[in-house]
Structure 1
Amino acid sequence: MTALLAIDQGTTSTRAIIFDINGNKLGSSQCELPQSFPNPGWVEHDAVHIWDDTVACVQGALADAGLAADDIDALGITNQRETTVLWDRANGQPVHPAIVWQDRRTSAFCQQHQDRNDWLNEKTGLLLDPYFSATKLTWLLDNVPDARVRAERGELAFGTIDSWLMWNLTGGRLHVTDATNASRTALFNIARNEWDDELLAFFKIPRAVLPEVRDSAADYGETEPGLFGGAIAIGGIAGDQQAATIGQACFKPGMSKSTYGTGCFLVLNTGSEFKRSQNRLLSTIAYRIKGETTYALEGSIFVAGAAVQWLRDAMHLIRAAGETEKIAKSIPDTDGVYLVPAFTGLGAPYWDPEARGAILGLTRDSGIAHIVRAALESVGYQTRDLIDAMEKDALALTELRVDGGMVVNDWLSQSLADLLQIPVVRPETVETTALGAAFLAGLTAGVYESLEDIASRWRAQTRFEPQMEAARAKKLLAGWHDAVARVRSANAV
């Protein structure tokens, strides 16, 4: 029996899932991951906690599947991207908490250097924004005592979460990343597929801290035998949104997927062409296999499922996320209430790190149901903004493949189809991020012959067709744009 193990390290949880050759789940384990917010706009993780949870989850998934390490054909890693870890090569200990992708502490630096946006975008496909790893790493080198001197001496190692896990899984033997994660640092030239000396000089990053960059499907060695009762071959790494693109089998130019987790990330395959966006989207590496790079356009929304988490944990309007579907159905519409979840600024296509969240359109008749429904609808509005921008850059989308924890909500999936005015397709396996990592590992291990072999195993579960009239969707979207305009910062471009 084929068994492929995926480590899926996300923003709010760490998971390990074991799949069979067709993507059916054999076993899994999950640990919730707390975040800390030491200052307004700051978001941090304990990297050691992430590693401990990873070990526990892999052990738990093996136990759940009734399998041993020797039964696993290969392991793949997928991870929250841009989150930045800096650690001591000698003892493997982080020198500071990990700075999470949502963190906005470097906003002032980015605002100060907005004149470098075109230059940066030409090399990386990205924008100068606190979202990406480069400014986070610069901050660590400038603010952790002796960090810059030690980094220049080669004593410290930088990595996104995949690199941190690989270091620990291999007992410190490998300091590596893959091309997808490297492409999210703002230090990697995605046209030339290499770390860029001019970018390193601009951000004042010593080359000695950087990991080696490999293909997304590649031989990454094997785990330390003592971790899981035997060595497991590691065959793939991809950032979470790229892994979901692979898990959704979006291998042809023009195919697109959108993942709804903590944030929302819409990725459009553009093939072998590095296509720069003219509408404030990101160009990125979708995957690199056998040295051949496939590119994508991406729209990044910072808050999707996190808005539901906020309703539950901060506002106490719901007890569990699963309640939102019933609540949204209990009213015909929001009666003009809009929730703009700019808790950590606005991502694409606005890129306004200083924007802040708001609930607008409240009247005496407004209640909990209106706010909850408005939170769910904000996901659709933000996705529509991304699709409109993508259509200006590339081509009109004919359907959208969706995944992530939020889309198990049928009402939300139908709402997406209505607001987007295109069919929304939910696959049989919504754990597509982990599945994509497993597919990459299986490709390296020879379990799959090709990407076409992987694509043949993808299955649709439900297709949601638009039921709302286009004029109604257009009117709702106009109200959304008015609400967004009200929360934009004075410095917004």
Structure 2
Amino acid sequence: MTISESPHEEEPLVASIDVGTTSSRVILFNKLGQEVSKHQIEYSTSASKQKFASGGARRFSVDSAGGGSAGSAGSAGSGAASPSAARQAQQPIFSAEGIAIEANEFLEIEDLERPTNPTLTFPRPGWVECDPVAILAHVVQCFAANLITMDKINGDRVSRSLLPYRVRCVGIANMRETTLVWSKATGKPIVDYGIVWNDTRTTGIVTEKRNSTPQALQDSLRAKTGLPLYSTYFSCSKLRWLLDNEPAVSEAYEQGDLMFGTVDVWLLYHLTANHAFVSDVTNASRTGFMNLDTLDYDDELLKYWNISRDKINLPKIVSSSQYYGDFTVPQCIKPNLTSVAWTLLTDFCSRSPPVPIQGCLGDQSASLVGQMAFKPGAAKCTYGTGCFLLYNTGTKKLISSHGALTTFGYWFPHLENPEHSQPHFALEGSVAVAGAVVQWLRDNLRLIPKAEDIGPLASRVADSGGVVFVPAFSGLFAPYWDASARATIMGMSQHTTASHLARAAVEGVCFQARAILKAMSSDAAGEGQKDRDFLEEVVDETYEKSPLSVLAVDGGMSKSKEVMQIQADILGPCVKVRTSTTSECTALGAAIAAAMAYEKREDRVLWEDLKDVKKWIRYGGVEQGAKSQDGSAPSKSCTYKSQSLDTDRRRKWRLWEAAIDRCKGWMDIVEEGTGAASNSAVKSM
């Protein structure tokens, strides 16, 4: 599509919708990648609601991390906080990353006193559910709040003879694998919940599949998906569970009324005027149904999960950067907004030309783009609730033999450079627990009053005193993939202090990041030279000979200089740790995807191509390598280098590997013991 108005009449912005596990936000970015406006809703949870109802201290609400009360955007629009927001402002709670948050004009916390269920619920141990309608409402509320803010900002800009801002396009970033089902006839959810990515209810399903599938078939299917088949992580087993356990879902399936999708599909379907039923490759590749080579659903994969194409509506798989539809607001959200907010939204949707939604990335791929890790061999690590590492392999599909998984980084088909316009693959490793272990130390052990204290506490000691903490609260993800593992603390003595435990916890996250990088580097080095011409020559396959030289980091824990120095020490001298220039890499990645979607270069009024993105966002409009007027480089990132001794680092790594071996299979032992005890009780009756 083309832009009919001159880009010089207004200052262009791109809007980014970012739906995470525990919050929703909308951010407006300018050409420099700066946040012109932002509004965020942190969800309350079933756990925090229970604590609030029983008079528990809000500050130790272990799961509170995002959401918004009905009508909250309207409160922002009127400039007056609601009574509940006022109480929240006086009683800070904590995000899932462990960061203390307080309600303010730009950040809301879901009202714990409202009669409806929280957005995020934990109905049983290991079960995590979200409310699809609440997520949609929060997104629209955040969008409305941004329009209200932008309206005020533009009034000020015009009074100072500056060009007013105008949103040109919209991008979406979202938590992946989270599985939603809704009716084709009504557009409403068939069940009132979606199964979140870190839910473990499908353990029995994936275990049965693993035990009944010949190894040759396992290898063949994994080569198609790039994913470990038998993890509860991905959407395939979640959909199978819904079909097996929810009569309404199986009935809709038999009638051909069942629509399946991840969060991106749900949002695009309801926020586009044409009800676009699409999923971009970075999200679709996480379902377990997509063939990485064909970029389409695979009949063998669907048959493996006993899914019939004829009975289910699957979203069309598309690129990460193309026109999906014009932004609109569903009528069902109107009761959640004030008249002022609704009027602003309807005016925005009726603009000419309309505002397109044209960028979509799964959150970790969006972070890769937001970190501007565009070159093959570049890597990023996001420290959120969990820890997610992506390694850009360019147009080369590498199937890991060392525990990493293969996914898509991004696909920007309209860029002129063929190297940039092809689908880009990535190796990925995920750590289930990162910031959550800091939260556990704060809430469960009361070692620290706030998450920001973890770095200083851990740095009071030179090392962990022989303590190793494997934070496998919900099993081990890459590269170990053991759902039966559980968290373990080893090596304690009477000498052990709170500082030793804090340092061991931080090191436990950092060691897992190192394990993933080691796996990825081994995969890359293991390819024949003709298949890895994008890598430097590797002397051997060990991690410390890796071609990777910089790990770009973002997320909550990356804000701690002590934690990042520990990470650099654990990685060793071959890899530098570089922080991001923005705290909102995920949202920025979605904005970049949207800006790259115009087919004509002249229509890309924010950034012309990926090189231009780096020039303006990382270097403030100065060419890479050039100095600004004051002689300094404009990049705002910080770099950490290893200060550890080789002998100490390798000794600690051996301890870590020993601890991993000891924590594996724990729940299998527990279940065997429970079964034995149960059988013994039966025999005694």
Q: Normalising by structure 2, what TM-score? A: 0.69
1:194 to 269, 276, 296: 296
Question: Which residue is 2:42 aligned to?
Answer: 32
How much has 1:233 moved relative to structure 2? 1.7
44-53 or 118-127, which moves further after superposition?
44-53
How much has 1:185 moved relative to structure 2? 0.6
Question: Which residue is 1:285 aligned to?
Answer: 408
391-400 or 72-81, which moves further after superposition?
391-400
Q: Distance in 2 between matches of 1:197 and 1:100?
A: 25
Question: Which residue is 1:75 aligned to?
Answer: 170
Q: 1:423·1:465 contact (CA, 8 Å) conserved in 2?
A: yes
How much has 1:261 moved relative to structure 2? 0.9
421-430 or 237-246, which moves further after superposition?
421-430
Q: Distance in 1 between matches of 2:177 and 2:515?
A: 23
In structure 2, relative to structure 1, the CA distance for the partners of 1:313 and 1:84 (3 Å cut) is farther
Q: 1:200·1:206 contact (CA, 8 Å) conserved in 2?
A: yes
Q: Distance in 2 between matches of 1:245 and 1:146?
A: 38
Q: 1:12·1:32 contact (CA, 8 Å) conserved in 2?
A: yes
Paired letter, 2:596: L
In structure 2, relative to structure 1, the CA distance for the partners of 1:62 and 1:351 (3 Å cut) is same
How much has 1:281 moved relative to structure 2? 0.8
Indicate whether 1:412 and 2:497 are aligned: no
How much has 1:37 moved relative to structure 2? 2.2
Indicate whether 1:357 and 2:357 are aligned: no
In structure 2, relative to structure 1, the CA distance for the partners of 1:309 and 1:127 (3 Å cut) is same
Question: Which residue is 1:125 aligned to?
Answer: 226
Indicate whether 1:169 and 2:271 are aligned: yes
Question: Which residue is 1:300 aligned to?
Answer: 430
Q: Distance in 2 between matches of 1:483 and 1:186?
A: 31
Indicate whether 1:209 and 2:338 are aligned: no
256-265 or 369-378, which moves further after superposition?
369-378
Per-residue CA distance 1:74-103 (angstroms, 9 max, x = gap): 111001111111112333332331111111
Per-residue CA distance 1:398-424 (angstroms, 9 max, x = gap): 111111122011111111111011210
For 2:440, what is the secondary structure of its paired residue? helix
Q: Distance in 1 between matches of 2:276 and 2:317?
A: 11
Structure 1 moving runs of 4+ over 6 Å: none
For 2:566, what is the secondary structure of its paired residue? helix
Q: Distance in 1 between matches of 2:502 and 2:584?
A: 25
Question: Which residue is 1:182 aligned to?
Answer: 284
How much has 1:313 moved relative to structure 2? 3.5
In structure 2, relative to structure 1, the CA distance for the partners of 1:315 and 1:44 (3 Å cut) is farther
Q: Distance in 2 between matches of 1:151 and 1:404?
A: 39
164-173 or 63-72, which moves further after superposition?
63-72
Q: 1:92·1:172 contact (CA, 8 Å) conserved in 2?
A: no
Paired letter, 1:195: Y
Unmatched runs of 5 consecutive residues or more in structure 2? 1-10, 46-119, 155-163, 331-341, 350-354, 414-420, 526-545, 599-603, 619-634, 669-685
Question: Which residue is 2:367 aligned to?
Answer: 244
Q: Distance in 2 between matches of 1:166 and 1:220?
A: 8
Q: Distance in 1 between matches of 2:26 and 2:495?
A: 45
1:56 to 132, 138, 141: 141
For 2:275, what is the secondary structure of its paired residue? coil
Question: Which residue is 1:390 aligned to?
Answer: 520
For 1:122, what is the secondary structure of its paired residue? helix
Provide the aligned C-alpha RMSD in A. 2.1
In structure 2, relative to structure 1, the CA distance for the partners of 1:411 and 1:202 (3 Å cut) is same
Larger Rg computed on CA atoms:
2
How much has 1:70 moved relative to structure 2? 8.3
Paired letter, 1:305: G
Per-residue CA distance 1:98-127 (angstroms, 9 max, x = gap): 111111111222222234431221101111
In structure 2, relative to structure 1, the CA distance for the partners of 1:292 and 1:347 (3 Å cut) is same
Q: Distance in 2 between matches of 1:43 and 1:89?
A: 25
Q: 2:366·2:589 contact (CA, 8 Å) conserved in 1?
A: yes
Q: Distance in 2 between matches of 1:91 and 1:56?
A: 22
How much has 1:170 moved relative to structure 2? 2.3
Paired letter, 1:375: A
Question: Which residue is 1:436 aligned to?
Answer: 589
2:203 to 83, 107, 126: 107
Q: Normalising by structure 1, what TM-score? A: 0.95
Question: Which residue is 2:67 aligned to?
Answer: none
For 1:457, what is the secondary structure of its paired residue? helix
Paired letter, 1:416: Q
How much has 1:61 moved relative to structure 2? 3.1
326-335 or 477-486, which moves further after superposition?
326-335
Unmatched runs of 5 consecutive residues or more in structure 1? none
Question: Which residue is 2:242 aligned to?
Answer: 140
Per-residue CA distance 1:268-303 (angstroms, 9 max, x = gap): 111111111111210111112217211111111111
How many residues matched?
A: 492
40-49 or 248-257, which moves further after superposition?
40-49
Per-residue CA distance 1:158-207 (angstroms, 9 max, x = gap): 11111111122126712211011001111000111101111111112233
